[in-house]
Amino acid sequence: WQEHQNSLEHWLDAYLHNEFSINGSGDRVSLSALEQYKAEPEFWFGASEVNAQRLDALVREHILPGHERPALEPNVLNGMLKGFIDLVFEHNGKYYVADYKSNWLGEDDHAYTEQAMREKILHSRYDLQYVIYTLALHRLLKARLGSEYDYDTHVGGAVYLFLRGHRAESDGAFCDRPPRELIEKLDALFSGKDLSDKEPV
């Protein structure tokens, strides 16, 4: 890779200073401007007889509803769920999970549209991934902030950065914020409870 060193250093510097949108309000940020962040934080939390198809149904209902995606295989998660998040950062009082993706979506920057990134997110089930990451962030903030924590106040959502598309009109950034209702239902589901919408008997 020695012959590519200069090109890679230039590309990396450009990417770190590239601004991208993190929500629908036009708020923009660059990685180099972040002041509070944690790279590669590890998380663990318990999974108590979690039905994978129930998990899948909840994600489909609340995340990009109406869009097709591969179904999860029948399975039961039981034990400890472990993972690493590429980046957790704070911006204007809200916390975000970020993940870097090197997926090739097309020949040039024009290929990295919102629709193309969404289709890749769904096809690869990154939607499920960022929901789990957001649940981990939710549990961390609840433990760290205690009674001051509020999901709607403190959680900004997920940012998936498609590195090859950083010069595209989309900035190569796909953003979503799982709704509070979903995260609370998943929090209960992984704790062995299922907050279904059934009417009380």
E-strand spans in 9-86? 20-21, 28-29, 36-39, 42-51, 76-84
Taking the chain, what is the end-to-end CA distance rounded to the nearest angstrom?
Answer: 66
Is there a catalytic annotation at residue 99?
A: yes
Q: Which residues contact 87 (CB under 8 A, 6 or more apart)?
A: 37, 38, 39, 40, 97, 98, 99, 100
Which is the catalytic residue, given 86, 99, 109, 194?
99
Nearest by Cα to 137 from 27, 38, 31? 38
What is the Cα 119 distance to its own chain's centre? 15
Q: How many Å apart are CA 58 and CA 181, to the nearest integer? A: 10
- 80: tokens are 């400890």
Residues in a beta bridge with 162: 101
**Active-site residue list:** 99
